[in-house]
């Protein structure tokens, strides 16, 4: 009987103790959930408290900052040439055998062409500022909140998808003029001539073509077909511009140091 009483006491104490522990645990979980919900509500309230106009203005300012940054970086001497992330390579038909051309003594031919292509893009960049900034000012207000909630380059991505076609039309004449100034056509002709004079006969050799086909590498044998250089440089120049704009947008979103105005702090500070 005494043993039963002791056992009952132990069970009672254990049960009461567990009840207190479980109660504390439950309270802790509930408090955590409440805190999380309240935080989410606060975040939503902070976001919703910003008007569409403020959000749109902040995004436009971020893009404008990105445009000015990109133009400054790429529009100075050797802006494209010395920037590995946006440097414009040889056109595909020559890029396939750049190494071969160089080994055949064509270092200067290749270097001259690459330099002239990149200089053409650099020369054209300052002329794009007004085009890009006008496109920024025309951003649709309805897309502002989606962009703000998007990834680190959402604004640039939206901007790029909605302006690239028009930019190509507007930038192409600038690129053509710049190509003339930088003698791109001359260096391109020189590179193609070097290829035709020194290497084309080998790539057209039937035995070489036969073995290349057998080993599945025939697609790597280049041709001397002329590529539309205007389009090639225009596309690469625009792609480089947007890459630099995206880089700045991402920095503004993530780094308080990059949020240099009260408007940028209001829209992007977390």
Q: Which residue range is the domain that position 7 belongs to?
A: 1-49
Average pLDDT over residues 163-192: 87
Residues 20 and 99 in one domain: no
Would you list the DSSP string of 209-265?
Answer: HHHHHHTT-GGGS---PPP-HHHHHHHHHHHHHHHHHHHHHHHHHH-GGG--SHHHH
Sequence-distant (≥ 6) Cβ neighbours of residue 9 within 8 angstroms: none
Residues 187 and 248 in one domain: yes
Q: What is the pLDDT of residues 99-126, one digit of tens each?
A: 878 888 889 989 999 999 999 999 989 8
Residues 4 and 90 in one domain: no
Given 9, 29, 49, the domain boundary residue is: 49
Residues 34 and 113 in one domain: no
Expressed in percent and rounded to 5, the helix, strand and coil fractions of the chain are: 80, 0, 20
What confidence category does residue 261 fall into, taking pLDDT thresholds of 50, 70 and 90? very high
C-alpha span between 167 and 160 (Å, rounded)? 9
Residues 192 and 221 in one domain: yes
Q: What is the pLDDT of residues 35-54, one digit of tens each?
A: 444 444 443 444 456 777 88
Residues 55 and 177 in one domain: yes
Q: What is the pLDDT of residues 213-234, one digit of tens each?
A: 444 434 433 444 445 888 899 9
C-alpha span between 15 and 34 (Å, rounded)? 28
**Size of the chain, expressed as the number of residues it contains:** 270
């Amino acid at each position: 009987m005494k043993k039963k009483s002791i056992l009952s006491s132990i069970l009672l104490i254990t049960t009461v103790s567990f009840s207190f522990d479980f109660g504390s645990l439950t309270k802790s979980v509930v408090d955590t959930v409440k805190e999380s919900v309240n935080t989410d509500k606060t975040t939503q309230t902070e976001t919703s408290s910003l008007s569409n106009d403020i959000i749109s203005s902040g995004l436009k300012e971020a893009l404008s900052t990105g445009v000015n940054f990109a133009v400054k970086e790429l529009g100075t001497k050797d802006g494209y040439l010395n920037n590995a992330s946006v440097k414009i390579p040889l056109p595909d038909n020559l890029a396939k055998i750049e190494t071969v051309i160089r080994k055949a003594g064509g270092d200067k031919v290749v270097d001259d062409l690459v330099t002239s292509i990149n200089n053409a893009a650099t020369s054209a960049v300052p002329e794009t500022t007004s085009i890009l900034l006008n496109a920024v000012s025309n951003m649709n207000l309805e897309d502002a909140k989606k962009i703000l909630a998007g990834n680190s380059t959402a604004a640039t991505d939206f901007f790029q998808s909605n302006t690239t076609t028009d930019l190509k039309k507007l930038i192409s004449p600038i690129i053509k003029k710049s190509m003339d100034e930088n003698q791109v056509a001359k260096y391109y002709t020189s590179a193609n001539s070097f290829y035709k004079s020194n290497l084309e006969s080998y790539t057209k050799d039937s035995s070489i073509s036969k073995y290349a086909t057998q080993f599945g590498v025939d697609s790597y044998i280049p041709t001397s077909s002329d590529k539309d250089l205007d389009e090639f440089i225009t596309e690469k120049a625009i792609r480089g511009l947007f890459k630099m704009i995206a880089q700045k947008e991402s920095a503004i979103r993530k780094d308080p140091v990059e949020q240099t105005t009260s408007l940028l702090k209001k829209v992007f500070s977390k």
